[in-house]
Homo-oligomer: A and B are copies of this chain.
């Protein structure tokens, strides 16, 4: 059921009515002051909000409107994936400048397509004028025991999902005025939040998890700091996409893959449950106080410098 609350007259509400007509069953119960959701008994609510801003996170010439909507939504959903949460719903706050209004249907289609992949209805939102496109997406989910960044234990193994470096390589190509390789571009333009994987991992003994939004080097530092441990990364074990170096893979942000710590995980069973998605052991957790060390073939190595920008 996607019964919405009827709205009164007004141009703004005509825009909302048009979006609801386009979304069909992807939107549910929109039109009241607040959306109403039910968190299953015994579950905790998990929420996160994430902004994607034109010229901060992407440039207009890089992506179609549909890709902008898809990518922003998957980026937000990725936080639920990290927490091992099942999605309940999505709230949108869109700032749409005049030149983007003709693209609103494309944006809306990308957003809805992304929410459909995880079965999370669009339950509310806000459309505002402005001079730069911005999508702030709030995701709501639930989990009986949400996975934190803070639970890694000494002796755990560190794993990542997927293969890294694609988004960073695409970004580097665009910034150099070149066209990225299609496979790299696709990883930037069409990321997939690892929502089902996050729930599988939570059910299989993961002690800590974080999504790779800042890049592996930065995010492993967050996990180490949060857990109060030392993380040791085997540089030779990092799974990279084709034509990307380990240093580039470590610095590549907006991957939306997961980094997890666990006593032991069955990578084959994981792949079988997730259409062949890789789960690769890349290091271990030692006693420490929030630091990260790199090694290669069992010997200490230097960790490449990480990407750091204000926007995150």
Footprint of B on A, CB under 8 Å? 5-13, 15, 31-39, 41, 44-51, 53, 56-57, 78-80, 82-83, 85, 88-89, 91-93, 95, 123-132, 134, 136, 138-141, 146, 148-150, 209-211, 214, 218-219, 221-226, 228, 290, 306, 308-312
Asked if A129 and B93 sit within 8 Å, CB to CB, the answer is no
Q: Which residues of B contact A35 (CB under 8 A)?
A: 46-48
Q: A44 to chain B: which residues have CB within 8 Å? A: 36-38
List of B residues within 8 angstroms of A80 by Cβ: 34
Bound CA span A218–B78, Å? 38
Most chain B CB within 10 A, of A32, A218, A309, is at: A32
- 4 residue pairs, one from A and one from B, having the closest CB atoms: A8-B221, A33-B82, A34-B48, A136-B136
Known: A36-B44, A44-B36. A49 touches B5 (CB 8 A): no
Q: Contacting A128 at CB < 8 Å: which of B12, B150, B311?
A: B311
Residue among A36, A46, A56 with max Cβ neighbours from chain B (10 Å): A36
For the complex formed by this chain, how many copies does it contain in all?
2
A39 to B11, CA, bound (A): 36
User: Which residues of chain B are within 8 angstroms of A88 by Cβ–Cβ distance?
Assistant: 45
Q: Give the distance to chain B from A23, nearest Cβ to Cβ, in Å.
A: 16
A190 to chain B, nearest CB (A): 21
Across the interface, do B33 and A136 meet the contact criterion of CB distance under 8 Å?
no
Q: Which residues of B contact A32 (CB under 8 A)?
A: 83, 148-150, 226
CB-CB under 8 A from A51, the residues of chain B are 93, 95, 126, 128, 136
Residues of B within 8 A of A47 (CB): 34-35, 37, 47, 89, 91, 123-124, 138, 140
Contacts A33-B79, A225-B7 given: A91-B128 contact, CB under 8 Å? no
In addition to A53-B95, A56-B130, A128-B134, 19 A-B residue pairs with Cβ atoms within 8 Å of each other are: A5-B149, A6-B228, A8-B224, A10-B306, A32-B226, A33-B48, A34-B46, A34-B48, A34-B85, A36-B45, A39-B45, A48-B91, A49-B138, A93-B138, A95-B134, A128-B311, A129-B310, A130-B134, A134-B134
Given contacts A48-B124, A79-B33, contact A93 B93 (CB under 8 A): yes
**Chain B contacts for A85, CB-based, 8 A:** 34
